[in-house]
Amino acid sequence: MGFDYDLFTIGAGSGGVAGSRRAAAYGAKVAIAEDRRVGGTCVLRGCVPKKLLVYGTHFAEELADARGYGWTVDGARFDWGALIAAKNRETDRLNGIYIKLLTDSKVAILDGRARIVAPNTVDVAGKRVTAKHILIATGGHPERLPIPGAELAIDSDQALDLTVLPKRVAILGGGYIAVEFAGIFRAAGSEVTQVIRAERVLRGFDEEVRSHLQGELEKKGIRIWSGSEAAGIERVAGGLRLTLADGRNLEVDQVMIATGRRPNTRDLSLEQVGVTLNKIGAVAVDECQATTSPGIYAIGDVTDRVNLTPVAIAEGRGLAETLFNDNPTKFDHGCIATAVFSQPPVGTVGLTEEAATKLGPVDIYRAVFRPMKHTLSGREEKTLMKLVVDRASQIVVGAHMVGADSPEIIQALAIAVKAKLSKRDFDRTVAVHPTAAEEFVLMREPLKRS
């Protein structure tokens, strides 16, 4: 049987684009379908525009800190609308680049929503095409809380396109998206209240990281209501009233829901062709990205495993290697570095102290200090650095940081942790002075043995 395409990809986000281009480079005939804009969540509605807003709003602190270094900055003012417009110009540019990358790679772009209607058959906006292999790379979307008035709130997609900066914002959620937007809005000048169900933000991260970051957020004026759940939202004369389950309420101009994301599998007709989904709608795959239906694969956030853009890209490229280059490739989901672009940011790789202690005794090395920059700026901000070391082997199994430049620093440390270097390797590495990063090779004695 002849097919229209060797590979048909549903979803033109980072993973889908990467996998499609790699397959085409090996001679496969490839098409990709997208019902929104080419580029996906990371480029258009996530990592990239969000970090641009972090950069833009963080200038408030840079201007304030400059006084300690002899600068007088008169007449500085912030224009939220101008920042959003600049962000939009950049995402438009990137959208164009992604389209060019696909066309230059000879990947056909089909506009419209795709559904798998039969084995090896996809319907795109009413047109049916066939493919030997089908790749699901549809990503995820922000979830909505099942509370009265939820439709009055915004999600992270909408927050990126607000044309007017709200004076008062309530953010529901304590994950990385919530803390990142809390920092953006607060630095831009909004009053921010973050409502979280847990006692601390960033569930799943190292407990000391969670505690340290929460303290720094509160120093910046972000009000955090711990152990709280939203019960409803209603429109009032002054804006919106958020009511909590414990009876407390708060009047704000905007409520943002950032309580999680869900895989984009609705209306894809996946179960009709034998693709198994889990209880939240994520596609079940094996270590080779294969679903339970022959010839259908899935990568990235739609599988709800490690929801990070570089992971989706690596999975997509690995699948192309397997299918079209006779190079069976399985992606290693262990020891993946990640960053939270909160203010201050977080960088982490490897095991948390809590996870490591479940596997055996560990030594904990920790440094908390005021960065050199703030000795003159006067800002009361502390940096946290932490190493988790397996006691028996002395291998560094986890590295964590909260503070300026932590995402940049953790990228280099990820090589060391992935390579399973020992604490002795860290100790005999010469420090780069004066830097914050040098503390990772200067921590000599464990502060705790667990």
Single-letter amino acid code for the residue at 125: A
In a shared domain, residues 134 and 9: yes
B/e letters for 280-314, b = 16+ CB within 10 Å, e = fewer, are ebbbebeeebbbbbeebbbbbbbbbbbbbbbbbbb
Q: Which helix or strand (DSSP H or E) is residue 47 part of?
A: helix 47-66
In a domain, 61, yes or no: yes
Query: From the centroid of its chain, how far is CA 211?
Result: 20
* Residue 274 pLDDT class (50, 70, 90 cuts): very high
Q: Where among 259, 279, 310 does a domain terminate?
A: 259
pLDDT at 1 over 90: no
Is 58 considered catalytic here?
A: no
Q: Are residues 253 and 284 in the same domain?
A: no
Percent of the chain having pLDDT more than 70? 100
| 424 in the same domain as 363 | yes
Instruction: Give the pLDDT score at 447.
Output: 87
338 falls within a domain: no
How many domains does the structure of the chain reveal? Answer: 3
- Alpha carbon distance, N-terminus to C-terminus of the chain: 61
Query: pLDDT by residue (tens digit) across 355-393?
Result: 999 999 999 999 999 999 999 999 999 999 999 999 999
Question: Do 246 and 157 belong to one domain?
Answer: yes
Residues 193 and 115 in one domain: no
Distance CA 346, CA 409 (A): 10
- In the 3-class helix/strand/coil scheme, how is 358-383 assigned residue by residue? CCCCEEEEEEEECCCCHHHHCCCCCE
Neighbouring C-alpha atoms within 13 Å toward the C-beta of 320: 25
In a domain, 334, yes or no: no
| Helices of type H across 124-206 | 156-159, 176-188
Confidence at 448, pLDDT banded by 50, 70, 90? confident
pLDDT at 218 over 70: yes
pLDDT over threshold 80, residue 174: yes
| Whether residue 279 sits in one domain with residue 234 | no
CATH number at residue 232: 3.50.50.60
Co-location of 45 and 127 in the same domain: yes
- 316 closest CA partner among 116, 30, 94, 3: 30
Give 104-161 pLDDT, tens digit per residue: 999 999 999 999 999 999 999 999 999 999 999 999 999 999 999 999 999 999 999 9
Residue 135 sits in the same domain as residue 156: no
Same domain? For 298 and 207 the reply is no
- Which pLDDT score is estimated for 2? 85
Question: Last residue of some domain: 206, 240, 259?
Answer: 259
Residues 192 and 102 in one domain: no
Q: Which CATH number is 419's domain given? A: 3.30.390.30
- 223 by DSSP, 3-state: which? strand
- Within a domain: 87: yes
CA distances in angstroms from 8 to 247, 268, 272, 308, 313, listed in the order given: 51, 14, 18, 22, 16
- 330 is a domain residue: no
Domain annotation covers residue 336: no
Identify the pLDDT of residue 449: 76
- In order, the DSSP letters of 256-312 are EE-S-EEES-TTS-TGGGT--B-TTSPBP--TTSB-SSTTEEE-GGGG-SS--HHHH
Domain final residue, candidates 259, 293, 311: 259
For residue 272, is pLDDT > 80?
A: yes
pLDDT in tens, 51-86: 999 999 999 999 999 999 999 999 999 999 999 999
pTM for this structure?
Answer: 0.95
Q: Is residue 216 part of a domain?
A: yes
DSSP H stretches of helix in 149-262: 156-159, 176-188, 207-219
pLDDT in tens, 122-138: 999 999 999 999 999 99
Q: Are residues 132 and 37 in the same domain?
A: yes
Pairing between β-strand 127-136 and β-strand 5-10 as defined by DSSP bridges: parallel
- Domain ranges, residue 156: 150-259
Q: Tell me: do 363 and 443 sit in the same domain.
A: yes
Residues 41 and 138: their CA atoms lie apart, in Å, by 9
Residues 6+ apart with CB under 8 A from 25: 105, 320
Q: What is the pLDDT of residues 294-332, one digit of tens each?
A: 999 999 999 999 999 999 999 999 999 999 999 999 999
What value does the mean pLDDT of the chain take? 96
Does a structural domain hold residue 331?
Answer: no
